[in-house]
Amino acid sequence: MQENKPLILVTNDDGVSSKGIRSLVEVASRFGEVVVVAPDSPQSGMGHAITIHDPIRLHTSDIFDPIQAYATSGTPVDCVKLAVYEILHRKPDLLLSGINHGSNAATNVLYSGTMSAAVEGAMEGIPSIGFSLESFDQDADFETSKKVVSDVIQLVLENGLSKNTCLNVNIPYVSEADFKGIKVCRAAHAFWEDRFESRKDQFGRPYFWLTGDFVDQEKSEDTDLYWLERGFASIVPTQFDMTDYKALETLKNWM
């Protein structure tokens, strides 16, 4: 534990005015000095995108007054870069992303702006945690989530995180009474079976909406999806080296 109050950067992908980030700021401010840098509009599904073809806008926001806050046109990953290099001019002691409206369990970590911000934090060497609630409801109840967030922040401040690792924390949408506890586990190999809804605009030209079903292909124990279904919050330690080390030797034999 640090002697001084830790500096905590809070971001998300649902935008600076979402209920999820308000719940996260509320809990985070019990642990340290909070600075918020978040997108000015929803950026779900932005993955690890960065803004390189357009200029980025950055404005102060009084939405969390007296907590210092900024809203930006950038992506969640841009928020982390802006915070470290343009606003704080130092690395925060902790980065918290979320609370996301909707699960980021399993392979959703790749599509998630919320989790990509946490991964970017890990790349910057900042202890980073992404939080997601299994409900897309914009007015969802975050009471159980706030308890989980508090417990996980406490654990990370006490134990630290190993270099290159952030946490992907997903929280089931259950009441405090039905909440079973927290499990550390791996990410399930589950995938989207996509569909496109085809419609016509006012000029008769087609356009598509991406939709689909999320299918858990392995149904194994000790995955995030397994525990979430049973009323537990899941913590998946998450890293950013995408090298497939198992395949490395096989491929070397090709040459």
Q: In the range 25-84, which residues lie near its own copies by CB under 8 A?
A: 42, 44-53, 55-58, 77-78, 81-82, 84
Instruction: Please return the burial class of 151, using the count of CB atoms within 10 Å of its CB with bins 0-12, 13-18 and 19+.
Output: middle
Q: Half-sphere exposure (CA, 13 Å, Cβ side) for 132?
A: 31
Query: Least CB distance from residue 74 to its own copies, whole Å?
Result: 8
**Dist. CA 66–CA 122, nearest whole Å:** 28
Helix (H, G, I), strand (E, B) or coil at 14: coil
Q: Which is nearer to its own copies, 25 or 104 (CB)?
A: 104
Query: Least CB distance from residue 135 to its own copies, whole Å?
Result: 17
Q: Does the footprint of its own copies cover residue 247 (CB under 8 A)?
A: yes
Query: Least CB distance from residue 40 to its own copies, whole Å?
Result: 13
Q: Does the footprint of its own copies cover residue 203 (CB under 8 A)?
A: no
Site string for its own copies, 157-176 (x = CB under 8 A): --x-xx-xx--x--------
- CA-to-CA dists, residue 249 to 49, 161, 240, 242, 252, angstroms: 31, 30, 20, 16, 5
Q: Does the footprint of its own copies cover residue 88 (CB under 8 A)?
A: no
Site string for its own copies, 106-145 (x = CB under 8 A): -x-xxx----x--x---xx---------------------
When binding is defined by CB under 8 A, the residue of 90, 143, 208, 215 that contacts its own copies is 208
* Two structure tokens written together for 25: 């700021």
**Dist. CA 229–CA 226, nearest whole Å:** 6
Q: What is the CA radius of gyration of the chain?
A: 19
- Nearest alpha-carbon partner for 147 in 190, 176, 180: 176
Q: Does the footprint of its own copies cover residue 8 (CB under 8 A)?
A: no
Q: Which is nearer to its own copies, 53 or 66 (CB)?
A: 53
Identity of residue 136: F
Q: Which is nearer to its own copies, 18 or 25 (CB)?
A: 18
Q: Which helix (H) or strand (E) holds 196?
A: strand 190-200
Binding-residue total with its own copies (CB under 8 A):
76
Q: Does the footprint of its own copies cover residue 85 (CB under 8 A)?
A: yes
Is the distance from CB of 45 to CB of 34 less than 8 angstroms?
Answer: no
Query: Least CB distance from residue 244 to its own copies, whole Å?
Result: 4
Query: Least CB distance from residue 124 to its own copies, whole Å?
Result: 8
Q: Does the footprint of its own copies cover residue 6 (CB under 8 A)?
A: no
